[in-house]
Amino acid sequence: MSSHIYQPRFHPPDKPAFVMCDTGETVSFADLEARANQGAHLLRSRGIGVGDHIAILMDNRREFLEICFAADRAGVYYTTISTHLSESEIAFILGDCEARLLIASEPFTGLATSLAPQSRCEIFIVGTQDGGFSNWSRTLATMPATPIPDERQGLDMLYSSGTTGRPKGIKWALPDEKPGARGMLIDLLSGLFGYDRDTRYLSPAPLYHAAPLRHSMVTIKMGGTSYIMRRFDAAEALRLIERHRITHSQWVPTMFVRLLKLPENERLGFDLSSMKMAVHAAAPCPQDIKRRMIEWWGEIIHEYYAGTENNGFTAITSAEWLTHPGSVGKAKLGTLHICDETGMELPVGQTGEVYFENGHQFAYHKDTAKTAACTNAQGWTTLGDIGHVDDEGYLYLTDRKSFVIISGGVNIYPQETEDILLAHPAVLDTAVIGVPNEEFGEEVKAIVQLVPSHPQSEALKQTLIAYCRDRLSPLKCPRSIDFFDDLPRSATGKLYKRKLRDLYWKS
């Protein structure tokens, strides 16, 4: 036997490691042990060794986590790909990470067929309709359920969401150790959020994203149980918390908005008393939304700020947030610095780019220029976010550097305007961007997705503009509003502002 912290000898073999909420499929620790070992053997049978790369293109289903655990104990880098990307974007990622193997689920068989001539990797399909490709489950069943002899700790190599440009592969050094050691992520996440063998963790987001994937796997490695939703639905998420007595969960602000906009008698009708910790991150949360969530769920809401790069990490409790509203917390990994455009540190209270010192070391795969561009002369690294630190060390984010609107030489940060609009009862989602203006270079435009019960009208546009003007400087208020049926967000809540800007700047 090898020494994995997620082996059944450390946890009861028949205890659920994870549950697929839509189907009820339950994978015990014994099941996971066997299938991870079989997956590791399958990878080796295809000549995939330590340091090689595989890619996963899959909806939330049972095999997703099993494949990740197989790579995790075979010393293999695994890249999980967003199912919302275009064929060209997926082809880029497969080539960039030099994937030796692509494992796709049945709905993406057609896409895999189109990708096959462009990629150099072997393709497996998970599902009954495999389109003539190798079938993962049938091949897996022929493999031994015992550990491979040359086990090594694997890692994810994930790609940034591409909200501001082409996705970037984020690569950490592969640890030279057997699987099961307490790595940085296990220590950080279990220490901050209390993941342990009694945890029942609800993941309402796609597993291809860093946070749902990593938090789910840490929960399992600590001996808890992850409950995986196929896709987010506000009322269903509340039902699952009640049914499974969920203790921990993770959200993004758009989910909070949708939860709060359920009919009050519906959302207050569930027993959520089992919840000990509700974590949110990935995008800025409007203060009004967060305050209302704390009033509803109590002081169990924790927020963190980090990127897939994990070059630094801040966190804040509900109690801290109520005395420091709008903050994303103090540094828990790395040392915070706020720097000007030259990379020099600014005094406390001044706004600039957020850098971390002594955080986790990373590189953008095959892109030394991008790695260098996010590193200053002191060796501190940034994700391109703008903010300031108060005299107690709490970080407040303003916006992303690439989202700043420059109108008549004045910097305007859209997040503040977006937060005001989201507080209006007619608004379900919004994006504020800069659009061309002949005199000032850019002007402020709001793109709004309405709550279904509110019909679009010119009068409502003017009402929303006036609503902003009552609460903000006119400079920050939209000069015009367009209604969209949906905004281009990733399933994890990140807004693709680049796509919206392109509509106005390329027309």
What one-character DSSP code corresponds to residue 347?
A: P
pLDDT, average across residues 209-213: 91
Q: What's the confidence (pLDDT) of residue 128? A: 87
Cα 40 to Cα 75: distance, rounded to the nearest angstrom: 9
Task: Please give the class, per CATH, of domain 327-403.
Answer: mainly beta
Cβ atoms of residues 290 and 256 within 8 Å:
yes
Among 109-118, 189-198, 395-404, 457-466, where is mean pLDDT lowest?
A: 395-404
Q: Is 80 exceeded by the pLDDT of residue 321?
A: yes
Task: Please give the class, per CATH, of domain 182-308.
Answer: alpha beta
Q: Is 50 exceeded by the pLDDT of residue 203?
A: yes
Cβ atoms of residues 315 and 329 within 8 Å:
yes
Q: Is 70 exceeded by the pLDDT of residue 235?
A: yes
CATH 3.40.50.980 domain span(s) along the chain: 29-180, 182-308
Of 357, 360, 400, residue with least CA distance to 380: 357
Q: What's the confidence (pLDDT) of residue 38? A: 98
Q: Is 50 exceeded by the pLDDT of residue 456?
A: yes
Q: How far is CA 318 from the centre of its chain?
A: 21
Supply φ then ψ for residue 256, to 5 degrees.
-60, -45
C-alpha dist (Å) from residue 358 to 168, 303, 340, 380, 397: 21, 21, 19, 7, 20
Task: Please give the class, per CATH, of domain 404-505.
Answer: alpha beta
C-alpha dist (Å) from residue 355 to 177, 219, 333, 375, 498: 30, 29, 12, 9, 23
Q: What's the confidence (pLDDT) of residue 162? A: 55
User: Residues of the chain with pLDDT > 70: what percent?
Assistant: 94
Q: What's the confidence (pLDDT) of residue 4? A: 47
Claim: this prediction has a pTM higher than 0.85:
no
Specify the higher pLDDT residue, 453 or 17. Answer: 17
Q: Is 50 exceeded by the pLDDT of residue 6?
A: no
Looking at the DSSP bridge assignments, the partners of residue 395 are: 329, 389
The SS3 call for residue 151 is coil
pLDDT, average across residues 69-88: 93
CATH 2.30.38.10 domain span(s) along the chain: 327-403
Q: Is 90 exceeded by the pLDDT of residue 282?
A: no
492 pLDDT tier (thresholds 50, 70, 90): low
Q: What's the confidence (pLDDT) of residue 496? A: 79
Cα 447 to Cα 416: distance, rounded to the nearest angstrom: 14
C-alpha dist (Å) from residue 125 to 10, 106, 139, 237, 465: 32, 6, 10, 29, 50
Would you state the structure tokens that stand for residue 493, as one six-digit string?
Answer: 């809540």
10 pLDDT tier (thresholds 50, 70, 90): low
Q: Is 90 exceeded by the pLDDT of residue 109?
A: yes
pLDDT, average across residues 228-257: 95
Among 25-39, 383-397, 462-476, 482-496, where is mean pLDDT lowest?
A: 482-496
Q: What's the confidence (pLDDT) of residue 20? A: 98
CATH fold for domain 29-180: Rossmann fold (3.40.50)
pLDDT, average across residues 125-136: 91
Q: Is 80 exceeded by the pLDDT of residue 411?
A: no
Cα–Cα–Cα angle for 164, 165, 170, rounded to 5 degrees: 95
Q: Is 70 exceeded by the pLDDT of residue 409?
A: no
The mean predicted confidence, pLDDT, of the chain is 90
CATH 3.30.300.30 domain span(s) along the chain: 404-505
254 pLDDT tier (thresholds 50, 70, 90): confident
Q: Is 70 exceeded by the pLDDT of residue 401?
A: no
Give the end-to-end CA distance of the chain in Å, rounded to a whole number: 62
The SS3 call for residue 56 is strand
Rg (CA), the chain: 23
